[in-house]
Structure 1
């Protein structure tokens, strides 16, 4: 959703928590707090950003 990479291009997709689990544990399983990012974007985001690319 962030960089538009897809598995056909070799991207590994991961589920990302828009609001990080470390700060918002109650939202860990909330479907509205989840988005799909490639592994590189997800690692780059870490828990510092609450960017929502949906």
Structure 2
């Protein structure tokens, strides 16, 4: 569950940075959020199988 919370935090950070005009920070935050969501989904599927 911590991975999902981190992904949400980075998503919110990206939205705020994008609104304030910091495009580089927003893009990097969205990339991190995307990878954290992917990791969360993989771990969720593995935990349901095992």
TM range (shorter): under 0.3
> Normalization by structure 2: what TM-score?
0.22
> Normalization by structure 1: what TM-score?
0.22
